[in-house]
Chains A and B, each alone.
Chain A
């Protein structure tokens, strides 16, 4: 009968420890993936010309198998600048609109704002660029406008969902204890909505990194430039070089957001299923 105790003890530890191990495992895996992706991104960005031999062997018919017109570092930086500027606009607009339509005074605008921003997402960014470029001119400006519009929807959607996911009892308590609407928003609603908002920002930024490549079509300098030039000049090697760096950039940023989300969850003390 003494064994029953041990058996029971083993069973409980067997129930908890694989979960903990699995969590540690996936964190470890995420860290390794992030490290590898980061090294690959930096390596390719800084040392693309060093791969000339590889691309020459791969595409023997091409006279210039590596894109050299502009350094990949410059392309990466201007690409990031474009994404940063447009994501900042999308974040500010999406967050403010999301907060506005979840206030009593903005409530009636919610369907309108939601469908407008959903529409903005269905318009292909190329079309926005095509319309914006003749009006504003070529370059980064029309690109920022197109990307901001495009990145707005996920953030707006997440802001509304995040604020609406706050437990009504929590808000009832906040009201009943005498918090001003402003205090409820900043101390209760936004902090509790943060994890959901953050996942929206993650989607928006990741999409924008890919979409920003298209902005090269209106003359903005991005990692899409080698792709566009490559497509126009039948240089597949350029296309591959641009695409790989854009892809790696998207992966690295996505993994960084994942870490940030984990950190926020920890700080907010929320675990899966708690409260």
Chain B
């Protein structure tokens, strides 16, 4: 989908990114994480040419991105940023319709698309179409920002710290939203963040950047299991690594089918093992029954099951 090949970027003659090579696979959520100054935002901005690269190649759909007309390239890529990127003088509907209008879709098609997106993001069209951005909460503004990025059905969605300005609760809700939307449409996503938990939760492929270069990349579980050096270990949080691994797996993936203890408390199979651990500790038990989708006991999870070697399969 997107390929960076030995890419270099200079500011005032000094290279801030050098020899960067990476691949975004179609249909995957790729998350680039790093502290400020790591070059993660520059990497995203080079993708839609808000910044131009000074060396190497960046290819989109097999072609060097400089061969596209820059506005055409950007219209094929959705772009969502931290809140306040909405146009304050346009209604919610007009904001979402930005790219379809630039692409000169006909009116009826635009209206249908706007309503569809509002519905999908849980904003009742009749109630929200005509609102102005300042009449929305931070979370709602961010939803509209995401809807605007997705409006013209772009081939890839670029998200630059999209939830950075939100409170933790809204932020968690938006992360779930992104996962849900991704499950529905399987869009290719490139997301930038400095929040390791957000990165681990959302990423299919995680890239850790530092000083303009990649420190390590792989699936979240690969990185948690085998951090390559001290920088990576520090970044993913030394003491929490075990807990973070548990957070990536569901109770259902470790369940002992069929075994049910009538005296034990029950939890849902959709919970993460991290949440299950918390239940073990707060309830003071070593045995939990696991409920299936119909809330019927389907098996058990024992405290010691948390210790089973971590698999590479990822269940979300």
Report A's interface with B, CB cutoff 8 A.
167, 169-170, 172-180, 183, 187-188, 191-192, 268-271, 274-275
The reply to whether A167 and B84 form a contact with Cβ atoms under 8 Å apart is yes
The reply to whether B102 and A269 form a contact with Cβ atoms under 8 Å apart is no
Give CA–CA (A268, B134) in the complex, Å.
Answer: 11
Give CA–CA (A187, B101) in the complex, Å.
Answer: 12
Instruction: Pick from A173, A175, A176, A191: contact of B89, CB below 8 A.
Output: A191
Taking CB atoms, residues of chain A closer than 8 Å to B132 are 269
The reply to whether B134 and A271 form a contact with Cβ atoms under 8 Å apart is yes
Instruction: Digitize B81-93: 1 where CB-to-A-CB distance is under 8 Å, 0 elsewhere.
Output: 1101111110000
Instruction: Digitize B73-100: 1 where CB-to-A-CB distance is under 8 Å, 0 elsewhere.
Output: 1110001011011111100000000110
The reply to whether B85 and A270 form a contact with Cβ atoms under 8 Å apart is no
Does B299 sit at the interface, judged by CB under 8 A?
no
Taking CB atoms, residues of chain A closer than 8 Å to B99 are 177-178
Question: What is the distance, in angstroms, from A145's C-beta to the closest C-beta of chain B?
Answer: 36
Does B148 sit at the interface, judged by CB under 8 A?
yes
Instruction: Pick from B72, B79, B89, B98: contact of A268, CB below 8 A.
Output: B89
Instruction: Pick from A170, A176, A180, A271: contact of B87, CB below 8 A.
Output: A170
Instruction: Digitize B142-171: 1 where CB-to-A-CB distance is under 8 Å, 0 elsewhere.
Output: 000100110000000010000000000000
Taking CB atoms, residues of chain B closer than 8 Å to A178 are 70-75, 99, 102
The reply to whether A177 and B84 form a contact with Cβ atoms under 8 Å apart is no
The reply to whether A176 and B48 form a contact with Cβ atoms under 8 Å apart is yes
Question: What is the distance, in angstroms, from A88's C-beta to the closest C-beta of chain B?
Answer: 26
Known: A172-B50, A178-B72, A180-B71. A270 touches B89 (CB 8 A): yes
Question: What is the distance, in angstroms, from B87's C-beta to the closest C-beta of chain A?
Answer: 6
Taking CB atoms, residues of chain B closer than 8 Å to A174 are 87
Give CA–CA (A271, B88) in the complex, Å.
Answer: 11
Known: A170-B87, A178-B102. 7 other contacts (CB 8 A): A172-B85, A176-B74, A177-B149, A178-B71, A271-B134, A275-B84, A275-B134
* A-B interface pairs (CB < 8 A), number: 71
Taking CB atoms, residues of chain A closer than 8 Å to B34 are none
Does B133 sit at the interface, judged by CB under 8 A?
yes
Known: A177-B79, A178-B75, A271-B134. A170 touches B102 (CB 8 A): no
Give CA–CA (A180, B72) in the complex, Å.
Answer: 10
Known: A167-B84, A169-B84, A270-B88. A175 touches B50 (CB 8 A): yes
Taking CB atoms, residues of chain A closer than 8 Å to B145 are 173
Give CA–CA (A177, B151) in the complex, Å.
Answer: 11
Taking CB atoms, residues of chain A closer than 8 Å to B86 are 170, 173
Instruction: Pick from A177, A188, A191: contact of B75, CB below 8 A.
Output: A177
Shortest Cβ distance from A191 into B: residue: B89
Give CA–CA (A271, B133) in the complex, Å.
Answer: 12
